[in-house]
Structure 1
């Protein structure tokens, strides 16, 4: 007898943290399979379902060779059978991947005597183009392993309920724009608490910083303008049958202004969608209403 199964497919660039994500899922009682060729996915799912497995996670990436091109078709086929399937794509900036390969001294799957690591990463991006749009996209470039584990934990928590999950992610422009953000707002033009000695060690979650920012009319106007924009267009994203919409809010360092905006917007929209609030440059603290 076939059993109901929750299936999570993980893909992404080599070195982006798929092993960390898979280990997190294994700790959450998922039966995990790494380096599965795409053409064997349906066979694996059928066999595990017959054996009674109800929580399964499978990593499929460039190590499976050219079969990775079949993955979109495989996902569509599984979803057509009303399988509870979720897709997680991990990404990272090229310079971050190069640093990770240098530190670990591991070989990129596509690197050889004729192809440098940089060229291998570029070819892998080309082969995986479009996969990030099939599900939830996480940029791991500036994430510590503990933060990535927390973000994956949030991912599996929100998947217990259907509909769109709205993610507000604060970040610092000096560390780069998140690759996973569909909408990005720049709040660097606003007064910066960093230049107030007493506020410098605090964050946008602390009352003195909030008081400082909310005393500035421009802060309140921009906060309301961003909220109005999202409020106007959120129904369109919901009608598009998206599972996730990530809104990036950036300031210079990602500690004060962007954190304040992400927290405020998260509170405002909790009655309209499932909300996660993430602060890329701060220690990982679970926030949201999964």
Structure 2
């Protein structure tokens, strides 16, 4: 049985993720108290459900502290348990609540929206370190659905390495474990013929491949990841996110993320481009 747990900040996209998993054939449960997790999994196992998705968040706050132990216990019994933690920048969450005019789950305590967000972050603590964290600040609903599908389809592995490109002008991703700034490299943006293209297009790739500094940057990042990857494997970590950033997230960072994603054939690797639309991923 595969169990995907969805948690994270209110307004970060948990409903979108849960609906996507439902469309993929998962039996979905929203807002299940952690104390009932093992019980409901055994019940679903009895009726031969193979794919379950459960949302766990601060609405069941008193039991959240039980989640790490519950996940560990289920894994020891042979279940494929994954945690997807959705996050977003405070300004993004405030804007979303303002646009939708929805109440924050903690607002009944007389708190303002910023105060609710701060308290919720504190309540969730380091839960994101138990699984895969996605910063949805700059994502469209379609992008998030695409990334949730990718997460669900990934094979079970001790460690998954995620290479993602992004643009600094859109903000540094909250989910990055390492950030490499490649804005110092020659920029195809200044060539009118290359400007509308991306780092996935052959003319841009050919231009960047001819630059000695681009090759040196690639080699430096590759050597760093290659050298330290075994240590992260030994650290019992599930995901390692390597973020490559250029100015707009269209050319240099995309090119390097693409190359790096192909450079570790013996690892489970995911590739994402934060600033490209889903059709180009």
Computed over aligned residues only, the root mean square deviation of the Cα atoms, in angstroms, reads 1.4
SS in structure 2 of the partner of residue 268 of structure 1 = coil
Partner in structure 2 of residue 243 of structure 1: 238
Partner in structure 1 of residue 115 of structure 2: 119
2:157–2:268 Cα contact (<8 Å) kept: no
2:34–2:56 Cα contact (<8 Å) kept: yes
TM-score (ref. length: structure 2) = 0.96
> Does the alignment pair 1:272 with 2:266?
yes
Over 3 Å counting, the alpha-carbon distance change for 1:286 and 1:206 in structure 2 is closer
Partner in structure 1 of residue 53 of structure 2: 57
1:77 to partner: Cα distance: 2.4
Q: Which runs of 4+ in 1 moved over 6 A?
A: none
1:197 to partner: Cα distance: 1.5
CA distance in 2 between partners of 1:166 and 1:30 (Å): 25
1:267 to partner: Cα distance: 1.4
Q: Which consecutive residues of structure 2, in runs of 5 or more, have no partner in the other structure?
A: none
2:88–2:137 Cα contact (<8 Å) kept: yes
Q: Is 136-145 or 237-246 further displaced after alignment? A: 237-246
CA distance in 1 between partners of 2:122 and 2:271 (Å): 31
SS in structure 2 of the partner of residue 112 of structure 1 = helix
CA distance in 2 between partners of 1:50 and 1:165 (Å): 31
CA distance in 2 between partners of 1:171 and 1:89 (Å): 19
Partner in structure 1 of residue 30 of structure 2: 34
1:150–1:286 Cα contact (<8 Å) kept: no
SS in structure 2 of the partner of residue 276 of structure 1 = strand
Q: Which consecutive residues of structure 1, in runs of 5 or more, have no partner in the other structure?
A: none
Partner in structure 2 of residue 170 of structure 1: 165
Residue correspondences, number: 281
CA distance in 1 between partners of 2:279 and 2:241 (Å): 18
SS in structure 1 of the partner of residue 262 of structure 2 = helix
CA distance in 1 between partners of 2:81 and 2:73 (Å): 11
Partner in structure 2 of residue 83 of structure 1: 79
Partner in structure 1 of residue 10 of structure 2: 14
1:276 to partner: Cα distance: 1.4
Matches within 5 A, 1:125-144: 125-144=121-140
Alignment equivalent of 1:97, drawn from 87, 93, 101: 93
CA distance in 1 between partners of 2:116 and 2:30 (Å): 21
Residue deviations 1:95-118 (CA, integer Å, cap 9, x gap)? 111111111110000113631000
SS in structure 2 of the partner of residue 184 of structure 1 = strand
